[in-house]
Amino acid sequence: AQKITQTQPGMFVQEKEAVTLDCTYDTSDQSYGLFWYKQPSSGEMIFLIYQGSYDEQNATEGRYSLNFQKARKSANLVISASQLGDSAMYFCAMREGLYSSASKIIFGSGTRLSIRP
Amino acid sequence: DVKVTQSSRYLVKRTGEKVFLECVQDMDHENMFWYRQDPGLGLRLIYFSYDVKMKEKGDIPEGYSVSREKKERFSLILESASTNQTSMYLCASSPAGGHFETQYFGPGTRLLVL
């Protein structure tokens, strides 16, 4: 079974609009972390935002916010006021067993976001 | 800033060749990881290491091996390259433990096996 599901392979959004990238996850752990990464065409993976399973507040980092709905096991990324430079591949990821030194991160299949001028 | 470097950005090899992909990190991280990235499949973990000389299989270890003789260096080895190993290979590192542990990625190596 997929641990991380991103149902939108590609999205087109007009510049300056807000965009929501969907992510659902599956885990039986009580402590886990959720991540979003951005991968521009150059290939490097850029960490954007993190949400811990016990965090009460939704994480925010500048124009990025994570809409965390624990009961629904969803961790959508919201980008406000999109810019042309936001065009990239976006990956949702999860780390289970937060307090284990050797725990690994599992990635979704990604969403390709394209911003139209 | 954390720096993770990979020995090559692009590599072309022939079927049956032995291939070495090198990864070096300069932040004294305990954990290091090798992923391959294919369209529509995201990143899949091949192997990871949480200490020198330690290694753990990831989700798709078949056809690969790894070596970690020094803390800063983690090598991925394709013993006999095959065309289905054509892919983008990403190395990452992270510190051990802690509530928050992101991974820091290298720039990737695009491997083409002919």
pLDDT at A112: 96
The encoded tokens of residue B10 equal: 């692009």
- Per-residue confidence in pLDDT tens, chain A, 117 aa: 569 999 999 999 999 999 999 999 999 888 889 999 999 998 889 999 999 998 889 999 999 999 999 999 999 999 999 999 999 999 999 987 655 555 678 899 999 999 999
- Which run of H or of E encompasses B48? strand B42-49
Report how far apart, in Å, the C-alpha atoms of B80 and of each of B5, B6, B13 are. 24, 20, 10
A104, B45 in Cβ contact below 8 A?
A: yes
DSSP per position, A8-59? -SEEEEETTS-EEE--EE----SSEEEEEEEE-TT---EEEEEEETT-SSPP
Residue B10: closest CA among chain A residues belongs to which residue?
A43
Average pLDDT over every residue of B27-55: 92
Contacts of A9 in chain B (CB under 8 A): 40
pLDDT at B25: 96
Q: B102 and A104: CB-CB below 8 Å?
A: no
Two tokens, residue B11: 């590599």
Specify the 3-state DSSP secondary structure of B8: coil
